[in-house]
Structure 1
Amino acid sequence: MKKYLGITVLLAAWGLVLPAWAVASSPDTLVDNTAQEVLTIVRQDKDLQSGNTAKILALVEAKILPHFNFTRMTRLAMGKNWGKATPEQQQELVNEFRTLLVRTYSNALTTYKDHTIKVEPLKNNATDTDTTVRTKVIDGGQQPVPIDYSMEKTSDGWKVYDVTVAGVSLVTNYRSTFNSQVRDGGVDKLIKTLVEKNRSLVAADKKASTN
C-alpha cells in the first residue's frame, strides 16, 4: 500500500512555478502536462536521483501545494470528527496532515523516474466543477497501476481533494486511523500523534543524510 500511495507524489508534484496553463487547462491536460514535466525534471537532476532529501522536499513543497486542497482533504479524512475540532485545531490538523503526506511520499520522486504515465482524456462538459482524472502508471511488463484524481474547479484552477490508488482512496485510508485516534483520546490525541509522526520522519531524514 505504501508503495502504491507513494506514486501519488510523483504525479501530484506539479509546477515549480504555477504556469498559466495550470489555471486555464482542463483537469486532464493539467495532470498530463505536469506529470510529464516532473518526470523530465527528475530524470535530468542527479541530486534528486541520488536522494538529496532537502532538494526532494523543496521540490515537493514547491510543486504539490498549489494544486492540492489540503483543507478539504483533511476535512474528508476527519469525517464526522471534523466538527469536533475547534478552528485552531482544524488548522493544526491541516498543517500536520499536509506535512505528513509531503514527507511520507517525497521519496517516490526518485523511485518512479523510469515509469510511463498515461492520462485518459476526459469527456466532461465545460461547465463541470467536479471530476475524476484517471491515469495509469506503467512499468515495463508489470501490471499498470491505476491512479484516479478527484478534482474540483476553484477560482484558482483545478485542485485535487482525493487520490485513489489501485482502488484505495487516500482520504478513506486515513479516515479509519483518524477516527481511532479521536475515539481513544479526542482531537488532541490525533494532533499529538501526527506531530510525533512528523518528528520521527524528520529525524529519519536527518539520519539518512548523515549516512
Structure 2
Amino acid sequence: MNMLRTVFVLFLAFFGATQAWAGKDPSEVVHSATNELISELNKMTPEERTDDEVRRLVMTYIVPAIYQERIAKGALGKYWRLAKPEQRQSFIDRFRELQIRTYSGAFKAFSGEELSFEDARLNDKGNKALVKGKLVQTNGNVIPIDFRLFQSKKDQQWRVYDAVVSGLSMVKTYREQMSERLQGTNPGNADERMNALLNELKAEADAVSAKQTS
C-alpha cells in the first residue's frame, strides 16, 4: 500500500477511537486507539472489507471525532478568511467527504503493519501535544510518523489535527493543493472562486463514489 494511504488509514483509525479514550494522556490515546483499530482491521477478511462496510465504519466511528474545522482551516490557509461562513462550512463538509471516499479503500489493503510511539511532548499551555512514532511495514521499511494533537476546552478531549510522515505534513500538503487551485483569488472574486472550488470538490467526491460502486 502507498505510504501516505497507509498513514491516512491510521489517521482515520485514530479519529475513530478518540471518543473512547477521552481524558487520557495523549500518548495513551494514540497507543490505545491505533492498537484497537489495527486489531479490528486484521480480524476482518478481504470479503468483509466491502465499500459499504468500510464507509459505514468511517461514518459511524470516524466522522464524529475528526477535528474538522481545524483541519479544513489549515487546508485553506490564507483563503479561509476570504470565505463566507456558509462557504467555510460547505468546504468542511465537502473536503471531508472527498477524503473519506478517496481513502476509505485503503482500509481494504491494510495488513501486517506495526506501530510504536514515544511519550507525548506537551506545549507550555498543555493544550497541544506531539506524539512521535514509527510505522514498520511488512517489507521491513521504517517510516517516521508523528501525530499532532489538540485538547478541546469544551470536552477536554484530545484530537489529532495533523500527521507528519517522513517530515511531510498532511495538512501542509492539503494546503499546497488548495492554494494552487485558488491561486489568484482576491476579495473581489473570492465568492465566485470559492463556489467553483466547492463544486469541484463535490464533483470529485461523486466521481470517486461512482468508480467504487461500478
The TM-score with structure 1 as length reference comes to 0.86
Using the TM superposition, name which of 10-19 and 100-109 deviates more: 10-19
Matching of residue 199 in structure 1 with residue 206 in structure 2 = yes
Counterpart selection for 1:78 from 69, 76, 82: 76
Amino acid at match of 1:45: M
Aligned residue for 1:183, secondary structure, equals coil
Report percent identity of matched pairs.
Answer: 25
More deviation in 176-185 or 131-140? 176-185
How far apart are 1:9 and its partner, in Å? 3.5
- For 1:149 and 1:174, how far apart are their aligned partners in 2? 16
Mapped partners of 1:162, 1:125: distance in 2: 16
Separation in 1, partners of 2:180, 2:139: 39
Note the C-alpha offset of 1:123: 4.5
Alignment correspondent of 1:34: 33
Which of 84, 89, 92 pairs up with 2:90? 92
Distance in 2 (alpha carbons) for counterparts of 1:61 and 1:134: 27
Q: Confirm or deny that 1:183 pairs with 2:149.
A: no
The 8 Å contact of residues 17 and 62 in structure 1, kept in 2 or not, is answered as no
Deviates more, 1:2-11 or 1:162-171: 2-11
Give yes or no for contact 2:122–2:130 (8 Å, CA) kept in 1. no
Q: Does residue 146 of structure 1 match 2:144?
A: yes
- 2:170 — aligned with what? 170
| Structure 1: distance between partners of 2:71 and 2:18 | 22
Q: Which residue of 2 aligns with 1:160?
A: 160
- List gaps (5 residues or longer) in structure 2: 185-191
Does the aligned pair in 2 maintain the 1:17–1:63 contact within 8 Å?
Answer: no
Of the candidates 66, 70, 87, which is equivalent to residue 68 of structure 1? 66
Give yes or no for contact 1:134–1:149 (8 Å, CA) kept in 2. yes
Instruction: Tell me the distance in 2 between the aligned counterparts of 1:125 and 1:175.
Output: 24
Structure 2 SS opposite 1:201: helix
SS at match of 1:137: strand
Cα distance in 1, alignment partners of residues 141 and 101 from structure 2: 27
Contact 1:9/1:106, CA 8 A, preserved across alignment? no
Report the counterpart of residue 10 of structure 2 in structure 1. Answer: 11
Are the aligned partners of 1:74 and 1:93 in contact in 2 as well (CA < 8 Å)?
yes
**TM-score, normalisation: structure 2:** 0.85
**How far 1:127 sits from its partner (Å)?**
5.8
Letter in 1 for 2:59: E
What is the identity, as a one-letter code, of the residue corresponding to 1:53?
A: D
Name which of structure 1's ranges 144-153 and 4-13 shifts more when overlaid on structure 2. 4-13
CA distance in 2, matches of 1:83, 1:124: 29
Deviations 1:105-127 (A, max 9, x none): 21222322211111122244796
| Equivalent position amino acid for 1:28 in 2 | S
Kindly indicate whether the alpha-carbon contact (under 8 Å) linking 2:130 and 2:149 is maintained by their aligned counterparts in 1.
yes
